[in-house]
Chain A
């Protein structure tokens, strides 16, 4: 009798698990049939509708968008594309974070298991070019005489390498200053006139800080997440280049240059405010700083323009949010320099069959069209890459609902197009960011001065670049 007992139990256990899992999905299968905010009766989840015509060209698209935009916007846009087509059929799939996706791509390259279109982050640009796996979209632009004059020049410039448009920008953002208007008024500051320079920012933070009797702060004037991207942006608005050779854009970069006086000044400013107790540090995770702001723990912070919608929804009914340009070291930097665009772009993998690549180009054109970009903006908070997208009704209505978003667009348009605002171009950006982040931590904790820490970081990044150039055969 005993012999069968274990077996029976094992079977029961597995059966229970399978059944329990079967039971739960009963609700979801009904729910996920998406509440598409705009139009189109296409049912999205859990799997896409199969292609309408047999013999249609199937194209795989890997993206890294999660949440509403990955679960709703990308499926919606892709299904709309498929519905508009009788030659191409795009299958979207979530490939994990950008880093995961890049690893998945690298693994796939060995076995020809690659997508035709892949969305990758800004800082993967140099690596993609050096890996020589991408078909530059410039080839298609030239062949078709595709008009790019309506696209944002600064956005295009980021993804232009060796004079060629390598990938098509898709989701773009810049960082800006967010502030709590109610706290501004309470502290006697003018919400219509937010700080513009480093000095003004520190002065405002001082006024906004609420100190306890024991000298600790109960509300901090400002908070910066320790995020390498923010340092890059502060450096850019200070006119500093991240690496040599025209930020790696005139020729492949060979050394890091962020330990310039501009770089040191940024960390000195950051550290001084931190020591004074007017600037909080909630660690590397940007979402922690955002939550502290929503919880009224801090009055100002910086983050991507793309988080605006989430912030305004989160603060609804609690306080009003204001936005401003990213602070700069001095007033003249406001016109001379600017922020670098961040986000991601769409790449075409060159080893795929020609028919697939042609479809990929059609898809990319569709995704960058004005109606799609307007929809994308309203869903995600990334700004459109196309100027005419702002005149779409969706975009107009959205701007009326989230007026602080104009700051994002103004900031983009105010930035001149030069080597500084084009942004650094290196193949080891993820490592460089991690290095900068630990550098900031060392400076804040007083382990090293800004100059010492940045010199050390520059040395580390330079040697990483040298190694990278060697491995890629770049002289």
Chain B
């Protein structure tokens, strides 16, 4: 029996959809698991076999998590910190990447290698000098102390430079002919074209900062300046470890990252399709 072209096509899509569904389940399971556990009560959470679905909609754990750690305030702090770092990185990385991609100057390649080599320095090696500097500046317990050390990035510069290199030099030549300066060209041509790369960097830097633990722990002591990961640690009572409680906290602090994902997802797709049409 020979399948018609159409039937073949349908079978093909079914196959792909099945595959995608399996992949989606694999990706979503941890998130589901967190939400599920956050709704279980103290006895259900340690039952065997483990419960895969909550039997009641009970927000006790959320209330308890909020009582044990002021997660709302922490979340606000984290979002401000991560937002500042994200903006800072987008600014510094796009300027630096522009220079490396479009401007010719002496020792350009060597300088770029130096930039790249900063990616090899383990963060642990710089934390103490950074801490001492921030302390000297009197920036402990401040947003600038939380954000400034992370505002420049070798990785971001590298990522954006690679993307900018794909933009034809002719565009630049034409712009220069029309009397367009560097900043104007960067703002009007390069950045709009580089949207997918900028979006990637934005999401990456935001999440990276949002997940920080040791740095905020080191330079903040005031409860009003603490960030979310410290809040989650504050829920992890060694002697009375309650997974449902911790998971409730995790679900709460997931909200900003979900919103970021929703907003940036559109951004990334738009950028990709814009490139496709351009050819």
Are these two chains actual partners, yes or no?
Answer: yes
A96 and B252 contacting across the interface, CB-CB below 8 Å: no
A6 and B198 contacting across the interface, CB-CB below 8 Å: yes
B83 and A17 contacting across the interface, CB-CB below 8 Å: yes
What's the minimum C-beta distance from B81 to chain A, rounded to whole angstroms?
11
A97 and B233 contacting across the interface, CB-CB below 8 Å: yes
> Which B196-254 residues sit within 8 Å CB-CB of chain A?
198, 202, 213-214, 217-218, 221-224, 226, 230, 233-243, 245, 252
Interface window among B27-35, B149-157, B166-174, B186-194: B186-194
B76 and A22 contacting across the interface, CB-CB below 8 Å: yes
What's the minimum C-beta distance from A302 to chain B, rounded to whole angstroms?
14
B223 and A66 contacting across the interface, CB-CB below 8 Å: no
**Residue tally, chain A, CB below 8 Å to B:** 75
- A318-B47 Cα distance, complex, nearest whole Å: 10
Partner of B42, one of A32, A72, A96, A314: A314
- Asked if A212 is an interface residue, CB under 8 A from chain B, the answer is no
Closest to B73 in A: A46
- Asked if B46 is an interface residue, CB under 8 A from chain A, the answer is yes
- Asked if B267 is an interface residue, CB under 8 A from chain A, the answer is yes
A67 and B128 contacting across the interface, CB-CB below 8 Å: no
Q: Given A95-B217, A100-B217, A314-B43, A69 and B237 touching (CB < 8 A)?
A: yes
Contacts of B195 in A (CB 8 A): 6
A21 and B75 contacting across the interface, CB-CB below 8 Å: yes
Interface centre among B47, B68, B136, B222 (most CB of A within 10 A): B68
Contacts of A72 in B (CB 8 A): 67-68
Closest to B69 in A: A71
Contacts of A12 in B (CB 8 A): 263
Interface of A is mostly: helix
B217 and A96 contacting across the interface, CB-CB below 8 Å: yes
B66 and A104 contacting across the interface, CB-CB below 8 Å: no
- Asked if A148 is an interface residue, CB under 8 A from chain B, the answer is no
Interface centre among A9, A48, A97, A297 (most CB of B within 10 A): A9
A14 and B43 contacting across the interface, CB-CB below 8 Å: no
A71 and B192 contacting across the interface, CB-CB below 8 Å: no
- A76-B43 Cα distance, complex, nearest whole Å: 28
A381 and B239 contacting across the interface, CB-CB below 8 Å: yes
Contacts of A13 in B (CB 8 A): 202, 260, 263-264, 267
B46 and A295 contacting across the interface, CB-CB below 8 Å: yes
- Asked if B119 is an interface residue, CB under 8 A from chain A, the answer is no
Contacts of A2 in B (CB 8 A): 192
- Asked if A287 is an interface residue, CB under 8 A from chain B, the answer is yes
Partner of A113, one of B140, B222, B233: B140
- Asked if B54 is an interface residue, CB under 8 A from chain A, the answer is no
Indicate with 1 or 0, residue by residue over A33-45, a CB within 8 angstroms of chain B CB atoms: 0110000000001
Indicate with 1 or 0, residue by residue over A91-135, a CB within 8 angstroms of chain B CB atoms: 101111100100110010011010000000000000000000000
- Asked if B99 is an interface residue, CB under 8 A from chain A, the answer is no
Partner of B68, one of A48, A67, A287: A67
- Asked if B39 is an interface residue, CB under 8 A from chain A, the answer is no
Q: Given A14-B87, A24-B252, A313-B42, A60 and B239 touching (CB < 8 A)?
A: no
- A295-B243 Cα distance, complex, nearest whole Å: 14
> Which A1-54 residues sit within 8 Å CB-CB of chain B?
2-3, 5-6, 9-10, 12-14, 16-18, 20-22, 24-29, 31-32, 34-35, 45-48
Contacts of A6 in B (CB 8 A): 191-192, 195, 198
Partner of A3, one of B68, B187, B234: B187
- Asked if B79 is an interface residue, CB under 8 A from chain A, the answer is yes
- A182-B59 Cα distance, complex, nearest whole Å: 32
Closest to B252 in A: A24
Contacts of A173 in B (CB 8 A): 239
What's the minimum C-beta distance from B2 to chain A, rounded to whole angstroms?
49
- Asked if A404 is an interface residue, CB under 8 A from chain B, the answer is no
- A35-B68 Cα distance, complex, nearest whole Å: 11
- A173-B48 Cα distance, complex, nearest whole Å: 29
What's the minimum C-beta distance from A298 to chain B, rounded to whole angstroms?
10
- Asked if A306 is an interface residue, CB under 8 A from chain B, the answer is yes
Partner of A18, one of B83, B192, B230, B255: B83
- A32-B263 Cα distance, complex, nearest whole Å: 31
Contacts of B243 in A (CB 8 A): 291
- Asked if B108 is an interface residue, CB under 8 A from chain A, the answer is no
Listed A/B pairs (8) with beta-carbon separation below 8 Å: A9-B263, A10-B202, A25-B72, A46-B224, A100-B214, A295-B48, A310-B242, A314-B46
6 nearest CB pairs, A to B: A25-B72, A67-B237, A71-B68, A295-B48, A46-B70, A310-B240
**Extra inter-chain contacts (14) besides given A294-B46, A310-B240, CB under 8 Å:** A9-B263, A9-B267, A24-B252, A25-B72, A26-B72, A31-B67, A32-B67, A45-B223, A46-B73, A93-B222, A96-B213, A97-B233, A295-B46, A295-B47
